[in-house]
Structure 1
Amino acid sequence: MMKDKRLIWIFLIVSHFAFSQIRGVVKDSISGEPISYVNISVENETVGTTSEADGSFSLDIKDEKVLIFSALGFETKKLSSKSEVILLKPKVFELKEVVIEQPKFKKEIEIGNFNKPLGYHISGDLEWSNAKFFKYETTYEQTKFVKKIKITTRSKVNNAKFKIRIFSVNKEGSPEDDLLYEDIIVTVKKGKRKNIIDISNLKLVFPEEGLFIAYEVLKIESNKYEFKYTENESKKLIKKIYYAPDFECNLVEEQNTYHNRFGKWIKLQRWHNNEIGSREKYNNKVFEPAINLILTN
């Protein structure tokens, strides 16, 4: 009996040192103010989290690691996981000569296939962000300003939050630089919601190279929910933690969607399951976010 107790204590001690929870806070290096919703990932691993509204974060990791801190408007920084206070330096943006033009808001067109969702994306441990490409058409010359973004969510959590980001397109056709200098944080209600995000105040002109609209998952406590499912073979009940909201997707032919897993943009590949029956429609297709844009003049 005494031997068994010693084994239990040894197991508890080993478990304690194998995985420990680190805590810290991310702040602006100039103002000292906390930075909300910073992406925090472990270098070369598929592990990460998001800072809370007050800049605080916690992460369960084994041993000392290198953490990568990334936030819109700040320089990306790498630090040891032993660091408790992380100071991010604001980016200095080089101002370019631009022609200021005021939108008239008298004409609108809607682009995308928002009204034909055939599935939805659930955000687990690995998923971080999905970006949908919008190609420029010469017909947009009369409605060159991006006025609104439409996206459908399904949330098991009330007041779930996520980010909208807008990217330029590089020579390889993948997302590159942020076209905005500030985060767009969207709060959604529980259940299925068609969200319309008005960005007309940004006066964003649709680039001739096209652009990417992306949603970004916030791995914060208030977004967590438990997802349960049964394995087909073992019939075992599986419980996992996911992050609200879920995002509706369309089934399309074109490979115009990229997903980001801790800093790397990867083109979504076609499904090659070769199944028949109800799942046959998925073969050689791509799931892309059900996002529409409303353009104006």
Structure 2
Amino acid sequence: MQMKIIKLLITIILFFVTVAFPVFGQVAKCIVIDALNHKPVPYATVYSSKSGMGIHADEEGYFEWHTGISSDSIVVSSVGYKHQKIMIKSLKEDIVNSIEINQDLVELSEVIVRPGSKSLERIVGFFYNEPDKNRGMGPGGISENQIFVNYYPNTEQMEGYIKKLMFDIKGFDLSQKSSRARIRILSYNKSSGLPDRDLLRESIVVKITKFSPNILLNIEKYKIVFPTDGVFIGLEFICHNEFIYKKKSLSRQKTDCPRITTTKAENYREEGKSYYWTYHANRWIWACISDGSIFPGQSWHGRVFKFGAVISSFQ
């Protein structure tokens, strides 16, 4: 009887050594660093070129990735950096792989302040609108609803800077833990009418907890011009586990994301629509929630995120 137990234990041990170990051994440890100064890039985004699924690196730029699908590649990026594509087969499993990403240097516009000009503050967006308590959206992993933006057209052709950003996040679920969000300010693409390049050259990450007030952020020091074509402003949520690895593939896990408050804008066509960045039908798209193209039915028509901004203009 005792010999049978010993043989059974040996069989189990051999199974884990010969089968389980190779599975869990197919993981590459990586760190994302700035190609110029070789410092870690916190919360860099990483996603699969094939599936669109992905994760965020942690605050030290570290992440892990399964290397079983050698024909796949990953795309690594962050605000202020160019996208870097890495083939999975190039990643080593016995070292920490350094992935360098290059800064994306963009020359920003300036506002010419004429002598005698007066500074005026104008509020754009929907931050002060009444919230819809029954309808909101919750971001998930990078392959679901992650970046939420509002488009603010410059209908009055104001000449000035974006001074302050405002985001309503009071829909936070008290049962959830803390999360983070990165500020996104994106230019308007004239051809597509959709978000294009980052205008904020620095990664600004804010922490969100169940006790957090609304996000009110002064960005006056960055001197970001309010473009004549308008601008997209929103949040990129970092609210799922940094390392999502289970058996042989990436796996979505429970997230700790706040609920995004929405409101009703009767004249959203003139004041601006709301979009979110998602992986849909094997491609990345900016999906509009306001015009019914993604969510059919009158209940979503005119819905916008309760975000806003203060523009400091000169006349």
Q: TM-score range by the shorter chain?
A: 0.7 to 0.9
SS of the aligned residue for 1:124 comes to coil
The aligned amino acid for 2:232 is F
The aligned runs of 1:138-217 (5 Å cut-off) are 138=156, 141=158, 144-153=160-169, 154=172, 156-158=176-178, 160-170=179-189, 171-191=191-211, 193-217=213-237
Tell me if 1:54 matches 2:60: yes
Output aligned runs, 1:280-291, within 5 Å. Answer: 282=299, 285=301, 287-291=303-307
Residue type matched to 2:155 in 1?
Answer: E
Q: CA deviation at 1:21?
A: 4.1
Q: Which residue of 1 aligns with 2:81?
A: 74
1:199-231: CA deviation from partner (whole Å, max 9, x where unpaired):
11122221111110121012564899xxxxxxx
Deviation at 1:177, TM superposition (A): 1.2
Find out whether 1:134 has 2:175 as its counterpart: no
The Cα RMSD (Å) is 3.6
Q: Matched residues in 1 for 2:206 and 2:43: separation?
A: 12
- Counterpart residue identity of residue 289, structure 1: F
Q: Structure 1-normalised TM-score?
A: 0.75
User: Secondary structure, in 3 states, of the residue corresponding to 1:293?
Assistant: strand
- Does the Cα contact within 8 Å between 1:152 and 1:192 map onto a contact in 2? no
1:40-70 Cα deviation digits (max 9, x unpaired)? 0010213111111111112457533311001
Moved more, 23-32 or 241-250: 241-250
Deviations 1:112-170 (A, max 9, x none): 222322233212132221221111121x63x7322111101226334x32111111111
Alignment size in residue pairs: 271
Distance 1:91 1:172 in 2: 22
Between the aligned partners of 2:221 and 2:238, the Cα distance in structure 1 is 24
Secondary structure at the aligned position of 1:107 is classed as strand
TM-score by length of 2: 0.71
Task: Say whether the 8 Å CA contact 2:46–2:74 is kept in structure 1.
Answer: yes
Is residue 2:102 matched to residue 1:89? yes
* Greater per-residue strand proportion: 1
- The verdict on how the C-alpha distance between 1:211 and 1:26 changes in structure 2, with shifts beyond 3 A counting, is same
Give the counterpart of 1:116 among 111, 115, 130.
130
Report the counterpart of residue 36 of structure 2 in structure 1. 30
CA distance in 2, matches of 1:90, 1:188: 27
Cα–Cα, structure 1 residues 91 and 292, in superposed 2: closer, same or farther, change >3 Å?
Answer: closer
| Preserved contact between residue 175 and residue 265 of structure 1 (Cα < 8 Å) | no
- State the alpha-carbon separation in 1 of the partners of residues 168 and 306 from structure 2: 7
Deviations 1:228-275 (A, max 9, x none): xxxxxxxxxxx951143332122456472222136833222526566x
Q: Distance in 2 between matches of 1:193 and 1:211?
A: 25
Structure of higher CA gyration radius: 2
User: How do 1:212-227 and structure 2 match up within 5 A?
Assistant: 212-219=232-239, 221=241
Match of 2:287 in 1: 267
Please, which runs of 5 or more residues in structure 1 have no aligned partner?
Answer: 225-238, 275-280
CA–CA separation in structure 2 for the residues paired with 1:8 and 1:148:
60
Q: Distance in 2 between matches of 1:175 and 1:190?
A: 30
